[in-house]
Amino acid sequence: RSCWFLLLLLLSCRQTAHVEKIDVAAVALDPNVQQNDSATAVLIAPYKLKLDAEMNEVLGTSNEPMAKEKDKTEYLLGNFTADIVLYKANEYYKPTDGQAAHIALLNNGGLRSSLPKGEITRGKIFELMPFDNEIVIVTISGAQMQDLLKYLAASGGQPCAGLNMGIRNDKTLGAVSIQGQAFDVNKNYKVATSDYLAGGGDKMSFFNNPIKVEVVGLKIRDALIERCREMTKAGMPIGSKLDGRIHYETE
């Protein structure tokens, strides 16, 4: 990434200075790049030190790497993020009807990097989730939830939590349970997701014309950071597990 700085050369023999010339240059904020502009380096140094300190904060430790993967029904990083979104969404959510969110749904493309084995820093979470997406609770009808489940089956799986579903070999929907109960097409469901996906992003048209959309006041990235700290405080490693929440059904 580069940051643009305007170097204003104020050349005047009068008491009131005015701009005579503007030179524009790109300065890469990369410690591996030799910087020739000492004035710029001095200017940005305190901000860089503060940012480095924040991004280098160690949130906890992972016992195994969690890779950004695709073409899998589930994977550690997807389960990790979706589980946290559902957990933290329901912690912040204050439903007027007393019903918590049933499931969480994210998308593979929204996870931008892997998490390593060992120390997990704040900066690593920013790399994983660089966007300022907010968590929202979308209430949809049973018919819309059925479309959501069919979307999951057709795509071969996306990061999700709160459900267990089978996919047939032809990528049609198999058996489904939500929060341990058989899916009921006549029931409304609440989905914790990002504001981007709630708006129909990634072709998630089943969120169009929802019954209700509620903001919980928490960014996905902040939810991940908070939960990592909580896991560490509780003596837990940062991580997840594969539990067959989305799976191909055997004949």
- Give tens-digit pLDDT for 165-191: 999 999 999 999 999 999 999 999 999
pLDDT tens-place string over residues 48-85: 666 666 899 999 999 999 999 988 999 999 999 999 99
DSSP 66: B
115: number of CA atoms within 13 Å, CB side?
34
CA 104 to CA 55: how far, in whole Å? 27
The percent helix, strand, coil of the chain (3-state, each to 5) is 35, 30, 40
- pLDDT at residue 31 is higher than 60: no
What's the mean pLDDT when you consider all of the chain? 88
> What's the pLDDT band for 10 if we cut at 50, 70, 90?
very low
pLDDT tens-place string over residues 184-198: 999 999 999 999 999
Q: What is the pTM of this model?
A: 0.82
Residue 21 neighbours by CB under 8 Å, 6+ apart = 9, 11
CA angle 212, 111, 72 (to 5 degrees): 100
CA 99 to CA 102: how far, in whole Å? 8
Q: Quick check: 196 and 134 in contact, CB under 8 A?
A: no
**How confident is the model at residue 60, as a pLDDT?**
97
